[in-house]
């Protein structure tokens, strides 16, 4: 109660009810979705009893497993490439200042503020203009470019927290640049690299809009497959898939947050 009294924000009328409404509106539907994923009834919104059958249906559905496999291929490939590019960009941006560096940083972070639908349409037009056949490759390219800022920011933040004198100290001890990077810089950067990689992976795994526009035949990912299912009607099967994706997302985001806080 004392902490609440010291916070001037709570003095304004309606702040507490507004905050409660906001969190209820944001999270209550998620809890309802998870609850109804255990519903034994075929009707997704009519509860008749507890059952795990729909999770078994999901895991036995070959189309769902194929879409999940495509999602894992795209997310893994995009994460590896995006994290590698982000690491090189962070190295170049952190070592020395140069003219226009702030502009380059803004360009790298630009996909974070551009509406995803704009990025999707622009990417589709680019692939059509250069004559690239839509398929799993185009999805990987689009996801890689989209994930670079998400991998870059944790790595760059880790760079900013490093002592700039450490590489100089390594040079004084006759270590060349490769040795200094491998034995000093890279171990210190690992939490940021892993955090950025996990964040990129989950962003790629959950991305729908860009995938929907640039995916061709045989390149259906799990979010696109779920969208196709709900156009027919919401069933506990859809709830079960969504609940599984939610759990995976929570795990990866939590790990990314915890690893990003590691101090060595």
pLDDT single digits (tens) 7-47: 566 677 777 788 888 888 888 888 888 888 888 777 766 77
Distance, in Å, from the CA atom of 18 to the CA atom of 7, rounded to the nearest integer, reads: 16
Residues 6+ apart with CB under 8 A from 241: 58, 64, 222, 226, 229
Amino acid 143: pLDDT: 93
pLDDT tens string 63-117: 888 888 899 999 999 999 999 999 888 888 776 666 777 777 777 878 788 888 9
**53-260: CATH topology:** MetI-like fold (1.10.3720)
Q: What residue spans define the domains of the chain?
A: 2-36, 53-260
Question: Which residues pair with residue 50 across a beta bridge?
Answer: 39
Check residue 161 and report its DSSP letter: T
Answer whether 198's CB lies under 8 Å from 252's CB: yes
C-alpha distances (whole Å) from 216 to each of 50, 80, 166, 176, 220 are 38, 22, 49, 47, 8
Dihedral class, residue 174 (left if φ above 0, else alpha if ψ from -120 to 50, else beta): left
**What's this model's pTM, rounded to 2 decimal places?**
0.79
Distance, in Å, from the CA atom of 74 to the CA atom of 210, rounded to the nearest integer, reads: 12
Amino acid 177: pLDDT: 67
For range 133-146, the mean pLDDT: 92
Residues 6+ apart with CB under 8 A from 44: 36, 233, 234, 235, 236, 238, 239
């Amino acid at each position: 109660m004392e902490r609440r009294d010291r916070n001037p924000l709570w003095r304004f009328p309606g702040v507490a009810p507004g905050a409660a409404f906001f969190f209820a509106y944001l999270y209550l539907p998620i809890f309802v979705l998870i609850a109804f994923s255990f519903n034994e009834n075929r009707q997704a919104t009519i509860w008749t009893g507890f059952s795990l059958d729909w999770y078994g249906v999901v895991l036995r559905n070959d189309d769902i497993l194929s879409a999940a496999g495509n999602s894992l291929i795209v997310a893994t490939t995009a994460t590896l490439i995006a994290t590698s590019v982000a690491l090189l960009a962070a190295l170049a941006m952190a070592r020395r200042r140069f003219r226009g560096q702030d502009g380059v940083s803004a360009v790298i972070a630009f996909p974070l503020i551009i509406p995803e639908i704009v990025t999707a349409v622009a990417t589709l037009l680019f692939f059509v203009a250069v004559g690239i056949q839509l398929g799993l490759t185009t999805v990987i390219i689009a996801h890689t470019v989209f994930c670079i800022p998400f991998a870059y920011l944790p790595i760059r933040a880790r760079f900013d927290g490093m002592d700039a004198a450490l590489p100089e100290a390594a040079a004084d001890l006759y270590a060349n640049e490769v040795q200094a990077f491998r034995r000093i810089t890279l171990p210190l950067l690992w939490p940021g690299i892993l955090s950025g990689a996990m964040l990129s992976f989950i962003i790629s795994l959950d991305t729908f809009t860009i995938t929907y526009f640039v995916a061709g035949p045989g390149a259906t990912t799990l979010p696109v497959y779920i969208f196709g299912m709900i156009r027919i009607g919401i069933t506990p099967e859809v709830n079960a898939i969504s609940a599984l994706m939610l759990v995976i997302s929570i795990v990866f985001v939590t790990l990314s947050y915890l690893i990003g806080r590691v101090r060595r």
